[in-house]
């Protein structure tokens, strides 16, 4: 059995989509970020950095429950645990990891930085935020070129690279209509039942 401590954010949705895709039994524990539950002692015992998601695997083969944080690491762990959504060959796996990290680091971090500068920092910096959003679109052009050459991000098969990118891209969908291949990819993935279920977990956000 797996316990997932999460919220309905990009990082949280990655893991809930993955769990729905691989069909493992799991229980969801909603962490109310607005109320600061991620900073409470009981949560900090799971993840001292106070970030969601956190996965606790009671069937890892260890004597104690296995606790893992960082959404991309959790996706990789679940793929290796189940043998799903990760290619068999080393070079194909490397391409999956390449695109996972491209999205998580190059695009995801820029999206968050723009949001922070526009909405969260005490001295808001809208011009800097706009420059970062323009940088995101430069990166999405590269993303679109990749999808022009193959069906999914890391090759011909749906993988954890696609799951890494999907939640944030879905929220940007109306701003990405100029990217024909990216739009095709989004429409295709939205039809997957596991994606539809995972995007709504945990409920109540």
Of 30, 149, 159, 179, the residue nearest 94 (C-alpha): 159
pTM: predicted TM-score of the whole model, two decimal places: 0.89
CB atoms under 10 Å from CB of 73, counted, come to: 12
Ordered domains of the chain (ranges, CATH): 2-84 (3.40.30.10), 90-193 (1.20.1050.10)
What is the structure's pLDDT at 119?
43
Q: What pLDDT, in 10s, does the model give residues 18-47? A: 999 999 999 999 999 999 999 999 999 999
Distances (CA, A) of 7 to 45, 133, 176: 17, 24, 25
- Exposure letters 127-141 (e unless 16+ CB within 10 A, then b): eebeebbebbeebbe
What is the structure's pLDDT at 123?
60
Q: What pLDDT, in 10s, does the model give residues 154-179? A: 999 999 999 999 998 898 888 889 99
Mean of pLDDT over the chain: 89
Q: What pLDDT, in 10s, does the model give residues 46-96? A: 999 999 999 999 999 899 999 999 999 999 999 999 999 999 999 999 999
Of 183, 165, 166, the residue nearest 174 (C-alpha): 183
């Amino acid at each position: 059995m797996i316990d997932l401590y999460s919220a309905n954010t990009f990082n949280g949705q990655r893991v809930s989509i993955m769990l729905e895709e691989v069909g493992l039994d799991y229980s969801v524990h909603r962490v109310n970020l607005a109320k600061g539950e991620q900073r409470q002692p009981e949560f900090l015992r799971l993840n001292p950095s106070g970030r969601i998601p956190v996965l606790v695997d009671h069937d890892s083969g260890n004597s104690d429950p296995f606790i893992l944080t960082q959404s991309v690491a959790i996706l990789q762990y679940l793929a290796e645990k189940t043998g799903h959504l990760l290619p068999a060959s080393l070079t194909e796996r490397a391409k999956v990891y390449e695109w996972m990290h491209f999205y998580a680091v190059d695009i995801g971090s820029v999206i968050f930085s723009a949001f922070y500068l526009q909405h969260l920092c005490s001295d808001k910096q809208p011009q800097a935020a706009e420059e970062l959003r323009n940088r995101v679109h430069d990166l999405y052009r590269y993303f679109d070129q990749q999808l022009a050459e193959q069906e999914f991000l890391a090759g011909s098969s749906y993988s954890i690279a696609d799951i890494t990118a999907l939640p944030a891209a879905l929220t940007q969908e109306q701003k990405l209509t100029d990217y024909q291949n990216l739009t095709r990819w989004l429409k295709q993935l939205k039809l997957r039942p596991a994606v539809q279920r995972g995007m709504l977990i945990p409920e109540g956000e």
